[in-house]
Amino acid sequence: MIRFEHGKYDFNNNVDFCVGTGRMGLALQQNYLEQLALVQKEIGFQYIRGHGLFSDDMSIYHEYENEDGEIRIEYNFTYLDLVMDAYLQRNIRPFIELGFMPNALSSGEQTIFYWKGNTTPPKDYEKWQQLIQATLRHLIDRYGLEEVITWPIEVWNEPNLAGFWENADREEYFKLFKMSFLAIKEIDRRFQVGGPAICGVDDVSWLQDFLEFCQKEALAIDTVTRHLYTIDNPEKQGRYSYVTLRDPVECVDELKTSREIIDSFNEFKHLPMHITEFNTSYSPDSPIHDTNQNAAYIAGLLAQLGETSASYSYWTFGDVFEEFGVPFTPFHGGFGLVANGNIPKPTFWTFVFFKKLKGACVYKGEDAIFVETKDGGFRGVIWNTSEQVLKKSILLPERNQSFFFMEKRVDQEVCNPLRVWHEMGEPSSLTTDQKELLRSAASPLILTKELSIEQTSIELPVLPHGVTYVECYPIKRKSDRGFNYQKINEVHIIHER
């Protein structure tokens, strides 16, 4: 039984603070911007974070030899301006990730991904600092200081993985962080700078050592960042990775440990911790991402992540994404909330629903969360991660008027574009009609009813791997003169013989 209680539950709902993207250069593609526009219309994230700001496809950093044989540096912000303009036009701002290394500034040839982001330290740290400062100053000149200093900054990505940072060299990353931090703060100390952007590999010792380094070097960091993925050891078949989900309790405990480490330092106690990437699988070839199971599992996380973290950025908003190359099919296990073809996945709706949960939390359980609205109504989300139908009963608050009640269902029966695509024959190239059908199949089922004053409870079944959004508010009926809904439904056809 869901019974509403005031003042008992904490719910720090920051579901819309930030969302992930692939490398920034993808923002030059039309399909990318169409998916972002859909996400912003229905959800409306504040910030967007992605890789590759300084990678060669953004073409910012250049070295050339002048007539005297001296090496000179020049910067090209043409693509950066296009990307930033596109973001701001869609009412989203960058959560800046400093990386990867321009090839001309790199100390080695190690790269990662299909698009070959260089993951080695700079050959010259002074030039690295100059690159950071030149980029920030350009952004300030273009968009204004008071705007740009609100854009959070994170130094690098997952340096505790050898693929993302050569040899996962801890001391070298600490140097990179210090030099980057100082370069940013020299421009304006109000910039919010954080790291170490680690994933869950040896994360305890990495975070401890990072904070000890910042303490020793008197680096007054503004935020701490890390990532969260909830699978282990995927099974590879062809181009796909099949996964088993971890117990959500284990995942939340991992974050609690990080929170405890941060709070153990007097200098950093209570600093905001941002999860700058999270999802179920860490691989963009995992069919779990396209499923209703993913939507229900993520709902359970969204109800809890705010307990430890200032934000939690889903990786990613869309499937225009090329770490392993260009996808072969519209449903390929990509990270995105939106499949190629601008088709919302079930998890898309989990975010839409949680965005609406603004207000005092009056119920928080292992499979449901509800808030009270200003008009005396309520909104809530119920999720079912089991293989059986979940039956929930909501005890309605006492009231002296009728209520409008609405539920939106997302489950394997009514909002499952992956299943419809499979039943189509899994076409790799969708026709216009097929895209329209899949978009229609990707919408929740909406059910409504009027609740009388006498009704004290309502029963809600949630199908396996389903997510249901509930909204209820007082009816303030103002009928037009002569309009009689009951009379409309009493119309009979007269048959003359």
* Tens of pLDDT, residues 92-143: 999 999 999 999 999 999 999 999 999 999 999 999 999 999 999 999 999 9
CATH number where 71 lies: 3.20.20.80
CATH number where 470 lies: 2.60.40.1500
What is the pLDDT confidence band of residue 495, given thresholds at 50, 70 and 90? confident
| 389 shares its domain with 296 | no
Residue 2 covered by a domain:
no
pLDDT tens by residue, 132-186: 999 999 999 999 999 999 999 999 999 999 999 999 999 999 999 999 999 999 9
Residue 483 covered by a domain:
no
Q: What is the pLDDT of the chain when averaged over all its residues?
A: 96
pLDDT tens by residue, 423-451: 999 999 999 999 999 999 999 999 999 99
Cα 375 from Cα 361, distance rounded (Å): 15
**DSSP code of 28?**
G
CA 494 to chain centre: 58
| 54 shares its domain with 201 | yes
Phi-psi region of 243 (alpha: psi -120 to 50; beta: other; left: phi over 0): beta
Measured from the Cβ of residue 22, the count of other Cβ atoms closer than 10 Å reads 26
The residues near 324 (Cβ < 8 Å, ≥ 6 apart) are 113, 114, 284, 285
What's the confidence (pLDDT) of residue 405? 96
Number of domains composing the chain: 2
Residue 198 covered by a domain:
yes
The CA angle 176-182-187, to the nearest 5 degrees, is 130
Residue 435 covered by a domain:
yes
Tokens at 179, concatenated: 């030099």
| 92 shares its domain with 116 | yes
Kindly provide the b/e burial profile for residues 368-377, where b requires at least 16 CB atoms within 10 angstroms of the residue's own CB.
bbbbbbeeeb
Question: Residue 196: is the preceding peptide bond cis (ω within 30°)?
Answer: yes
| 268 shares its domain with 176 | yes
| 327 shares its domain with 459 | no
The residues near 59 (Cβ < 8 Å, ≥ 6 apart) are 76, 78, 79
| 345 shares its domain with 365 | no
| 392 shares its domain with 327 | no
166 catalytically annotated: no
Q: Virtual CA dihedral for 407, 281, 197, 149, nearest 10 degrees? A: -40
| 381 shares its domain with 447 | yes
Residue 480 covered by a domain:
no
Pick the catalytic residue from 158, 166, 372, 407: 158
The CA angle 205-48-98, to the nearest 5 degrees, is 55
| 322 shares its domain with 224 | yes
Q: State the helix-helix crossing angle for 78-89 and 125-143, rounded to 10 degrees.
A: 50
If DSSP states are collapsed to H, E and C, what string results for 47-93?
EEECCCCCCHHHCCEEEEECCCCCEEEEECCHHHHHHHHHHHHCCCE
pLDDT (mean) for 390-398: 91
Q: Virtual CA dihedral for 202, 21, 116, 107, nearest 10 degrees? A: -60
Query: In this structure, which amino acid lies at residue 154?
Result: E
| 141 shares its domain with 42 | yes
**DSSP code of 318?**
B
CB of 52 within 8 A of CB of 25? yes
What's the confidence (pLDDT) of residue 63? 94
| 369 shares its domain with 301 | no
Q: For residue 25, give Cα distances in angstroms to 50, 164, 236.
A: 10, 18, 29
The fraction of the chain above a pLDDT of 90, given in percent, is 90
pLDDT tens by residue, 345-387: 999 999 999 999 999 999 999 999 999 999 889 999 999 999 9
Domain end call among 327, 355, 383? 355
| 235 shares its domain with 298 | yes
Domain, as residue range, for 465: 360-474
Cα 40 from Cα 27, distance rounded (Å): 14
**DSSP code of 397?**
P
What's the confidence (pLDDT) of residue 477? 86
Residue 490 covered by a domain:
no
pLDDT tens by residue, 243-299: 999 999 999 999 999 999 999 999 999 999 999 999 999 999 999 999 999 999 999
Q: What pTM does this model have?
A: 0.95
Q: For residue 325, give Cα distances in angstroms to 156, 241, 277.
A: 22, 15, 20
What's the confidence (pLDDT) of residue 399? 81
Domain end call among 355, 370, 401? 355
The fraction of the chain above a pLDDT of 70, given in percent, is 100
What's the confidence (pLDDT) of residue 497? 65
Cα 256 from Cα 275, distance rounded (Å): 12
Residue 13 covered by a domain:
no
